[in-house]
Amino acid sequence: MSAQTYLAYDYPLLSAFWTMLWLFLWIMWLVLLFRVVVDIFRDDSMGGWAKAGWLALCIVVPFLGVLVYVIARGKGMGQREIAQARDQQKAFESYIRQTAKGGPAQTSSVDELARLSEMKSRGDISDEEFRRAKALVLSDYPSAERSGSGSVPTAHGR
């Protein structure tokens, strides 16, 4: 037998399938191990010593620790995962609603000065109103106080 023929028969197809199966199972177990460790820290119902005990069990005897944790606390693990997903979805929806409403617009003082200058050049505000508004924009007042004070002229209500 030549060396090429020997290499072809050295690792049969069935052995390749077994290797892929074991590799897949090992990766699945690692994912499960990390999910268990994350769930240990996420669970608010457990105290510090209980978390330390579960974590020590999962580190010292990993296969047994993960198996026992999933059997003992698997249902709660799923419920905590669902609760976290719901909280994230609510936060995302709240952000989308706030953004769609055109939440508090953060304009810079440069933008406000440009808007005021444009209003002055159109004749919507007088020179005195422009100076007062410019002083307000350049001062350190927050934009919410400026818009609610009524002293900043707008195009609609001089």
pTM of the model: 0.50
* Residue 21 contacts residue 29 (beta carbons within 8 Å): no
* Residue 44 contacts residue 51 (beta carbons within 8 Å): no
Would the CA dihedral through 91, 92, 98, 104 be positive or negative?
positive
Q: Report residue 154's pLDDT band, with 50, 70 and 90 as the boundaries.
A: low
Between CA 137 and CA 116 the distance in angstroms is 10
Between CA 158 and CA 154 the distance in angstroms is 6
Which one of 8-22, 76-90, 142-156 scores highest in mean pLDDT? 76-90
Q: What pLDDT, on the 0 to 100 scale, is given for residue 76? A: 87
Residues 78-107 pLDDT 10s: 888 899 899 999 999 988 888 887 655 556
Q: What pLDDT, on the 0 to 100 scale, is given for residue 7? A: 52
Token representation of residue 13: 């197809």
Give the residue from 45, 36, 93, 38 showing the smallest Cα distance to 64.
36
Higher pLDDT pick, 150 / 117? 117
